Amino acid sequence: MAYGNPCQSALIPAVIQASLLSPATRGLVFPMPMRTLLPLLLLCAIPVFGANSVLPVGNFETPAVKGRTTVDQGGDPTNGGRGPSWIVFKFAPETTGSGADGSIAGGLTNEIAHDGKQSLFIDFNHVKTPYQSAMLISNFIPIASGSDYQVAIWGRVDANDRIAADARPAYLKLEVDFFAADANESIGDPVFSVVPIAAGKDREPFFKPDDWRCFYAKITAPAGAVFAQITWRWESAGSEPGEINGTLFFDDMTMIGAPNPVPNLTPTPVQETAPVAQDPAPAASASPAPQ
């Protein structure tokens, strides 16, 4: 079964969006009579992909925060690792403060949101070294073996803390891993996708400060896969010089596609086989005492 683009509006199907948006002006145009268009909009004012989302919760509405709140201040999207959607949010290397080489911080904020009241923020604080990263890992997501999916994320740059055009390159990296029913045995190969955060030679940044932009990747679950796990990684480049400084916001992460046919599926632990009891070795007969 084919599913729509997860980056399309949840309220307006793609065919109508194409009629509304002019690539030349990037504004609203109405090529069809309004008396025809408005009934279509009213009929279509229902989510077009919400029913097909296999990720339990992709927004960042909990825990509720006031202002920009880092993980150690209580802005933890994993709820202490308990989920339901996200179970790991960590930074590498683990640093506090800026230090000589800078650092990456993250958490939740109610400053801005794509939908709802809160979003995730990632702050590059004068990062000068390679492979400094923030990593957000999902819980195990039940999927249907052999089915097609689209994994998406909305993001934008903080207009008050922009990333310089000549900043050190950095990337948003997506990794999707697949597992068997025990959520331990890997199935098939991981799927990777990358988009630039900072500009560079012959490279434009994907996320901008003027509006939310959606990045998504199409994937196919391998045969035998029962669970998927999503990892989003924000990471500084490994070889190019310079530093990157600035903040980005992210929201409404989705995985669109067929649900697993088994409702409320959870990982099945591998049953360990109890060791077979061995018969005790016969006692050695006592040797006669030397005469």
Phi, psi for 29 (deg, rounded to 5): -130, 155
pLDDT of residue 20: 32
pLDDT in tens, 125-166: 999 999 999 999 999 999 999 999 999 999 999 999 999 988
pLDDT in tens, 189-233: 999 999 999 876 677 889 999 999 999 999 999 999 999 999 999
Instruction: For the chain, state the CA radius of gyration.
Output: 25
100 confidence band (pLDDT: 50, 70, 90): confident
Prediction pTM value: 0.77
Cis bond upstream, residue 63 (ω within 30) = yes
For residue 63, the 8-state DSSP code is S
The answer on pLDDT for 27 being more than 50 is no
Show the tokens assigned to 155.
Answer: 């993001």
Phi, psi for 88 (deg, rounded to 5): -140, 130
Contact 120, 237 (CB under 8 A): no
CATH of 53-257, one of 2.130.10.10, 2.40.30.10, 3.40.980.10, 2.60.120.260: 2.60.120.260
Query: CB under 8 Å to 127, separation ≥6 — which residues?
Result: 101, 102, 103, 104, 168, 170, 236, 243, 244, 245
- Domain limits, the chain: 1-52, 53-257
